[in-house]
A and B are shown apart, each in its own frame.
Chain A
Amino acid sequence: MTATFGDFLRPAGQHIAAAAAFRGDLDDDVRCVAVRELGRLVCALARYFDDLPPTGDPAPAGHRPPSPGTQAAADARIALRRAARSLRHATPIADDAHPVVRHLSAAADYLAAGRDLLQTHFTTAPSGAHTGSSHWAPIVTSGPVTAALLSELAEHARTLAPWAAQLTMTGPLGSGMPAPERLILHSAIGGLWITGAAVEAAQRDHPPPEDARRLLAAVPASVPPPRRPPGNQEPVTQLCDGITVTAERLRHAALGSARRSRATTSPSWRRGALASAITSHASEIILRTLAERASQLGIDPAVRVQLHEAADTMGVAWPAWRAVACEWDILRTGVHAGSVRTAADADFGDLALRAGRLAYDSPHWTPACASTSPIRAPADLAATPDGVSVMLAAVHHAADAISRVAAADQQAVRTAAGEDRLYLPTRLMPESYDIPYRYTLAPRSHTDTLLLTYATAVSASARVTQVLDDVADAINAPSTMLGASRNFERLQTDARRREGHGLARDEAPSTMPPTTPWHATQVECLLHSLQITDPAMLLRAVAIDQASYDLVAQAAAKACKRDSIAAPTQRRPQIAPNRPASIASKDFPCGVPERNQQVPYAGMRAATMPSTGTAANRSAMSRADGISRSA
């Protein structure tokens, strides 16, 4: 499993407490080594404070003074830096070193490793700018979590300071501690006292919230775990672990630039939609089985209701993903490039397979008809109430990952549609369109439908995660942190907006699915608030919201164009309607973007090079019937 900050912070605290609990006299040699390790520990603490955002120049007159927390951090930073400056590199300690030395050394190592873990959420640009690169980054840098971190560090400082002071008073007078070690010790004591006192004073009236402490401990390393392909006969617990690992990998994929780049093509999006549909379908079965098991185990009826609600929302999500997959049946971003599969494709495959193996009884389940099997028995799915929590966490992780990738894919597909990079095979067009190329630019009606299905699927997935966040919280599932971090992120974003700062520029691009997508905040929300569940009405609402969004986006783009004095772009020539063949023959993507996009049919290689499509022929094509597609 992915390491979390708590995995380092807790043992660091335990080692510090163990070292500080030692009350005996130390030999001079031991004391010298202990002081050097103490110095290393102070250096580790100082690095945390160095990572905090600088307080900057003194506030100009009329500006608000720094908050007590900021001031405390600045004081501690200066004190610890001063202490760290006098320190020397510690030499490696022997295996049979004194326990105090070993505890101090281990604490320093844990603190250094913890800091490294936090740093995995940031990247440093060549300019030196520190930018967030994960969806945890804004949480790590948020006020409450920073306060929680300061509080933890200050507690360590307060534990160490009196013990270090006592070190100067034990042993024979004028003991053999060399001058450098004495200097280290005095600097360290000063730094630790100031740190402990400054933070304590600042947080006396406003201690960091407990949620922030829990979130701090839960911050995971932002490193994708290695892929764990499904085994042949994985038991339920291993299937759950596998889903958690795969979900984490997919969350990284959602944040990575690859998923958003032009290199990501329709087959990847199609496979994502396919796996999301199958996983959500299996998840609905799992949730219904879990609800039944919860009833058998006598779990709180309210939880059972929540599980049923989660299953119902999942029952809305998978048809939405099926619709997206259907749209990808005929649309694509370029010519067939073979069966190249990306890492995310493999992860999506793993996710769907494991979800199916949890839902159904057979450990060898695959989508094939030959491996169909009955639904898994409730007692087999979760033997105990703890088993229910573990199972729910797996479903929760899967839904969260799907939701985050969905948000990234929706954005990328919208860009592809906006850049006219979506095509369909001309062979699927009516014969009257004698287009001498294999693909033609997708008519607007097709791309609009695709975007609409994405909007619906993203909205449905966001709703699923919201409901699962609540259930996980109610039964204290291992995935509780997913919901807590989502809520926290939302609160922080809202707070920043209220403060008028807008979104911080150094934040990573968020793939966090909103509770309801940003474009679906009007009519669809209204219908939800009226408890309308009729899919047809909801779909109409989404369509209306989408149209509103498109209109606003178009207006914004127009305004932007009007204001710019950029060189005029090549306009598509208007072609008179009523000549379908000649119109269609020119309805090709402009520029042939990648991989020899337009391959003419055999014997037509001498055909005139394509010009560009027009709004007129687009609408002509969209009116045409007979484009073979599913209902």
Chain B
Amino acid sequence: MLPDLLAASFDAFEIIRLLARSCDHRAPELFAAFMTTADAAVDGREAITAAPALPAGGSTARVSVPTADTGTQEITAALAALGALLHDRLTHAAARTAAPEDQDACVQAADAARRIHDLMARGDDDRDIR
């Protein structure tokens, strides 16, 4: 169902944003990566917000800040995987939806998700975007 997918995607982008923001100070060399990821997550969330099929209701996105002993690589891998998953689902939804505005929203959000994956993926261990 498109409305459910959009609502879940909205929350997923919001979770990515919050996670990226909470981690951007972890390592200086990853500052730009996390900052840009948060920015892409905002783009994705905003694209979803414009979709007419997005149901009303509040976001349920909640994030607990990862503890210091959570590896940065673990976090980036999770974000990359989430980005890939979002890209996959939203691209699929864009192909199946008939309403042009919903289609546009899905395409743009999928693009933001791809950027998130590209920013967070480190190499072969990450799921590739088809």
| A interface residue numbers (CB < 8 A to B) | 267, 270-271, 274, 277-278, 281-282, 285, 322, 325-326, 328-329, 332, 335-336, 338-339, 352, 356, 360, 367-370, 372-373, 425, 427-431, 433-434, 436, 438-439, 599, 601-604, 628, 630-631
Contacts and interface: CB of A to CB of B under 8 A. Distances in A.
A621 B108 CA distance: 30
Nearest to B17: A329
A336 B101 CA distance: 11
B21 interface: yes
Nearest to B38: A329
B18 A425 contact: no
Interface in B1-57: 3, 10, 14, 17-18, 21-22, 24, 28-33, 35-36, 38-39, 42-43, 45-47, 49-50, 52-57
Contact of A352 (B18, B32, B33): B32
Contacts of B45: 425
B46 A278 contact: no
A628 B14 contact: yes
19 contacts: A274-B35, A274-B39, A278-B35, A326-B38, A329-B17, A336-B47, A339-B108, A367-B33, A367-B119, A368-B121, A372-B30, A427-B10, A428-B59, A438-B54, A602-B52, A630-B21, A630-B22, A630-B38, A631-B21
A486 B119 CA distance: 39
The binding surface of chain B is classed by DSSP as: helix
A274 B34 CA distance: 11
A369 B119 contact: yes
Given A336-B46, A336-B47, A339-B43, A602 B54 contact: yes
Interface residues of B, number: 47
Interface in B41-88: 42-43, 45-47, 49-50, 52-59, 61-62, 76, 80
A604 B50 contact: no
B6 to A, nearest CB: 10
Given A326-B21, A431-B58, A630-B22, A602 B35 contact: no
Nearest to B53: A602
Contact of A599 (B31, B52, B111): B52
B99 to A, nearest CB: 10
B35 A325 contact: yes
A438 B123 contact: no
Given A427-B57, A628-B59, A631-B22, A328 B30 contact: no
Given A336-B49, A436-B56, A630 B17 contact: yes
A425 B56 contact: no
Contacts of B118: 368, 370
Contacts of A267: 43
B92 interface: no
B107 to A, nearest CB: 10
Contacts of A270: 39, 42
Nearest to A318: B31
B35 A336 contact: no
A628 B122 contact: no
Contacts of A368: 33, 118-121
Contacts of A274: 35-36, 39
Given A352-B32, A431-B57, A601-B56, 8 more contacts: A274-B36, A277-B35, A326-B38, A329-B38, A370-B122, A370-B123, A373-B29, A428-B58
